[in-house]
Amino acid sequence: MATAGLDHFNIIAPEALMREVRDFYVDVIGLQEGWRPDFGFPGYWLYAGERAVVHLMAGGTSAAPPADAPATGHLDHVAFTCTDLADTEKHLAALGVAYKKAEHPSFQLTQLFLSDPVGLGVELNFAG
C-alpha cells in the first residue's frame, strides 16, 4: 500500500457547538459547506474546492482521552495551504480573530496560527 495524501479530518463536537465550529471553518478559514450523505445524525462536510476536507459531526467518543491530553486529545493542529496572506490577515482582523504569525525566510514560508472553537490548533501556510 502507498499512501497518496490526507483525505480529511473529522471533528466531533456537542450538537450545541457544531454550528459555531462550522461557522469558524466557513467564515474564518474559507471552506464551503457542501453535500453530505445522510448518516442519520447531524453534521457538516466542509469543502476546499471539490474535496470535503473537514467532516464535522455531533456527539462524542466512546473512550475518554488520557488524563494528560489537551481537550482535543493528542491532536495538536491541522494545517491548510493558503494564498493571499495580506487579505487573510485583514480578514482575521476584521473578524477579531487572534492569531500568531511566524515567518521562515529560509524556506519561503509564512504561517498564521489560530484556534477553532473546540480548541484545535489551525495553521495557515503561505508560500513566498
If we measure between CA atoms, which residue out of 57, 47, 1 comes closest to residue 25?
47
Higher pLDDT, 86 or 62: 86
C-alpha distances in Å from residue 99, one per residue of 28, 93, 128: 12, 9, 19
User: 78-120 pLDDT, tens per residue?
Assistant: 999 999 999 999 999 999 999 999 999 998 999 999 999 989 9
Is residue 64 assigned to a domain? no
Is residue 68 assigned to a domain? no
Q: Which range, 14-18, 25-29, 74-78, 124-128, has the best average confidence (pLDDT)?
A: 25-29
Is residue 19 assigned to a domain? yes
Q: Is the model's pLDDT at 64 over the cut of 50?
A: no
Residue 115 bridge partners (DSSP): 121
User: 7-22 pLDDT, tens per residue?
Assistant: 999 998 888 889 999 9
Q: Is the model's pLDDT at 68 over the cut of 70?
A: no
Range of the domain at 116: 9-59+75-127
> How many domains does the chain divide into?
1
Residue 54 bridge partners (DSSP): 9, 46
pLDDT at 76: 86
Cα–Cα distance for residue pair 90/118, rounded to 1 Å:
23
Is residue 99 assigned to a domain? yes
C-alpha distances in Å from residue 30, one per residue of 73, 92, 105: 25, 11, 26
pLDDT at 98: 97
CATH classification of the domain holding 44: 3.10.180.10
Is residue 70 assigned to a domain? no
Ranges of beta strands (E only) in the chain are 9-13, 32-34, 43-48, 51-58, 77-82, 100-104, 109-115, 121-127
